[in-house]
């Protein structure tokens, strides 16, 4: 079976947009369940401005409480050199650094234009390397911006090339506001692959705002992507993306790609149990479909 790596982002992207702050204890309980289901890479927290994203203010405490596992990579997200500094101080060994493909979103989310945020990129890469952390990059609003509208394919390719100018091992394209359709995914992946070295593996991050995330995930895999993000229960979104309606549900990805013959290494039943745990912590139903459906024969 072809291998497909699923990165679980519910502790970070899933919880960052919730109106109520989830306790550190519940976050760590969630992470324990995620690891128990078989995930070996997951976004545990972000090191961002706690005044702007108070749900992520306890990143240091989360990393301090993580299980000691040599076989699991706990990823931290950062937007600026200060975030990288905090992540390294917390013992993070993999940092996902986020850029934007549009100025409107970059100013609100990253604190400067796209060009301005790249000014510190060499410093960020050097700091991560000196601190012993491997570095990936994500391009948010790679398919559209809530403030600037359509984002040109050439712009995404240009940002991807700038990202790959530093020593990253992975580059993710993120549909931050859930506007992409399969043809967009194919077109942008082809453009990005032509713009970056083949040593950089591609990753995709889809939001399900317009119910296209599963179709987009299939297209990404058809184009050779073997690393996908998901959020159990389909929870999440970006505080700076108006109307954000959640991520692609990880359990839906597990079911779909399992039936398609891919090996994700994840126990679907335990993933569903974890999605239900998230719903109990949040006190509301989650958007994922597979966690609400009757169990179908084994994948």
d(CA 161, CA 273): 40
- CB burial class (10 A; 0-12, 13-18, 19+) of residue 98? buried
Please provide the size of the chain in residues.
299
Find the radius of gyration of the CA atoms of the chain.
Answer: 18
- Single out the catalytic residue among 100, 145, 163, 238: 238
Is residue 238 annotated as a catalytic residue, yes or no? yes
Give the SS3 label for residue 296.
coil
The pair of structure tokens assigned to 115 is: 């060009």
Calculate the alpha carbon distances from 231 to 39, 132, 174, 271, 281 in Å.
12, 27, 13, 10, 15
Give me the active site residues, please: 238
């Amino acid at each position: 079976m072809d291998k497909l790596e699923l990165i679980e982002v519910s502790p970070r992207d899933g919880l960052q947009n919730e109106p109520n702050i989830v306790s550190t204890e519940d976050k760590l309980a969630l992470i324990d369940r995620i690891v128990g289901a078989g995930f070996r890479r997951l976004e545990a927290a972000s090191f961002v401005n706690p005044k702007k994203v108070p749900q992520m203010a306890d990143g240091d405490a989360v990393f301090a409480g993580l299980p000691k596992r040599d076989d699991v990579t706990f990823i931290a997200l950062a937007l600026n050199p200060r975030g990288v500094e905090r992540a390294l101080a917390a013992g993070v060994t993999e940092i996902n650094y986020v850029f934007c493909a549009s100025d409107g979103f970059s100013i609100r989310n990253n604190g400067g234009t796209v060009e301005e945020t790249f000014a510190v990129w060499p410093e960020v890469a050097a700091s991560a390397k000196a601190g012993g952390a491997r570095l990936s990059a994500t391009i948010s609003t790679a398919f559209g911006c809530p403030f600037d509208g359509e984002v040109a394919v050439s712009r995404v390719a240009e940002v991807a090339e700038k990202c790959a100018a530093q020593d990253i091992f992975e580059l993710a394209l993120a549909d931050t506001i859930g506007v992409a359709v399969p043809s967009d995914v194919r077109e942008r992946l082809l453009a990005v692959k032509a713009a970056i070295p083949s040593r950089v593996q591609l990753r995709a991050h889809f939001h399900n705002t317009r119910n296209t995330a599963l179709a987009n995930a299939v297209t990404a895999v058809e184009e050779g992507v073997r690393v996908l993000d998901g959020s159990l229960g389909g929870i999440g979104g970006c505080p700076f993306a108006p109307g954000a309606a959640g991520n692609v549900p990880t359990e839906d990805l597990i079911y779909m790609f399992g039936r398609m013959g891919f090996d994700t290494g994840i126990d679907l039943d335990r993933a569903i149990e974890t999605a239900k745990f998230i719903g109990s912590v949040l006190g509301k139903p989650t958007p994922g479909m597979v966690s609400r459906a009757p169990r179908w024969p084994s994948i």
